Homo-oligomer: A and B are copies of this chain.
Amino acid sequence: MEHALRALLGDDGVLPGTTRAYLTDATESRNIRGRADAVALPRDAAQVRDTVAWCYKHDVPITPRGGGSGFTGGAVPLDGGVVLSLERLAGPPQLEPERWRAHVPAGVTTAELSRRAREEGLLYAPDPGAAEQSQLGGNIATNAGGPHTFKYGVTGTWVTGLELVLAPGELISIGGPVRKDVAGYDLKSLIVGSEGTLGIVTAAWVKLLPAPEAQLPVVAFFPDVETGCQALTTIMASGLVPAALEYLDEIAVAHAIRAFPGEAPRDPAFMLIAEADGSVPEAQRLRAELLEAMAPGALATHAPEQRGEIRELWRWRSGVSLAVISVRGGKVSEDIVVPLEYLAEAIIATREIGARHDLPACSWGHAGDGNLHSTFMIDLEDPAEMHRSEQAAEDLFSLAVRLGGSVSGEHGLGLVKRGALAQQWPGPAVALHESIKRLFDPKGLLNPGKKVANR
């Protein structure tokens, strides 16, 4: 197989299937690792097409791979075959600043796209957690969100066109630089979030926005979950529109607080981070209103105004996940969503589920979107704990479905949640889902074993 791929991609375009870095993703933190026969590193979209065509002809499974920062094992090859990494499709994004848009190869990192946009005074709004590592293609495959999704929407909101390879080996475009298009069914949105199971994105047109002049976060610490969630309700009922609305529960705060770049009260049970953005006067006005809305019942507030302090705060927020991993060496972290009115209930239930399975648990995440990162901290060396954490995750999914929510708000299903969709969707919708998969991928070779609706 390596030999055949070298003929297509050149010697530098193929690595041995045993190359460890390509056999896992962020699920390394729960000991997940796959097996591949070869790693393909196509240089351009035509080589992606040729690789897919070769694999499709020879019945070889294809596991597409972006930056490998996913939490669901979506990029983990299960049963051999080819890992197809898009990392070399990384030519710089082509920005058209006056038209608020860019054409971006799939392998460009999220951080690189954001930086280039900023250099032109523009904002690429999606801000998933591992921006230096994740790539636009992977963000599209998972329809990635982030803290600022609350105001700005998920990745798909910003994609107007896709270039992609379909089975059995066709390179096509859907959409483009146009801002509106209702001529066909929305195939673009069908591909976005399909986790490499319907086609492989090689480039995208994305919309940009003028960057807000100011971004002013407001942090508040609370004595309990209810008071904190009440502040969230007050913000929304007051008609304030923060750019982000994040929370940490008691245990998440406890594990991360030592590095907090500011003063924090002793043992808060809940933390809320809101951000005001816009023109300088607008962001300042909103900052003041957020402070007023969040102060009642708060133990303390913290609202940095210096650029350096603000950057430190968000850097600290990005580090929460690592701080939680470091407690016991591993974690199982899910991304359930619930209707807003059940946020407090889901936060409390996460801890209860942990207790029931004898696992320390915590949660943090995107409060304004009702999107929790419900997490069990585990010892990777203890198989019994690993097993209990899987059962705990199942309980989380049942909780989300029972509350009218979703088993996944931003990570997708990948390997670790495959089959979970059938809990949440009615039978006819699940059947259509599976039929659509067969339509796009009749041989079942595109990221096999991932995102399947039925287990």
User: Which residues of A are in contact with B by a Cβ distance under 8 Å?
Assistant: 97-100, 121, 142-143, 145, 149-150, 153-154, 156-157, 166, 170, 172-174, 176-187, 189-190, 192-194, 198, 209-211, 233, 236-237, 239-241, 278-279, 281-282, 285, 337-341, 366, 368-371, 404-413, 417, 420-421, 424-426, 428-429, 432-433, 435-437, 439-440, 453
Contacts and interface: CB of A to CB of B under 8 A. Distances in A.
Contacts of A432: 166, 187, 439-440
A98 B230 CA distance: 11
30 contacts: A98-B237, A99-B236, A121-B239, A143-B186, A145-B182, A154-B180, A154-B182, A172-B429, A176-B404, A176-B405, A178-B370, A178-B404, A179-B340, A180-B406, A181-B406, A181-B408, A183-B407, A183-B420, A183-B421, A184-B453, A185-B194, A185-B436, A185-B437, A186-B189, A187-B429, A187-B432, A210-B239, A279-B282, A432-B440, A436-B439
Contacts of A369: 179-180
Contacts of A190: 185-186, 189-190
The 10 closest A-B pairs by CB, nearest first: A189-B189, A210-B239, A180-B409, A181-B406, A172-B426, A183-B408, A98-B237, A179-B369, A186-B189, A177-B339
A99 B370 CA distance: 11
A406 B188 CA distance: 14
B371 A180 contact: yes
Contact of A337 (B166, B170, B180, B408): B180
B210 A240 contact: yes
Contact of A339 (B176, B340, B368, B439): B176
A408 B178 contact: no
A154 B189 CA distance: 14
B97 A237 contact: yes
A388 to B, nearest CB: 24
Contacts of A285: 279, 281
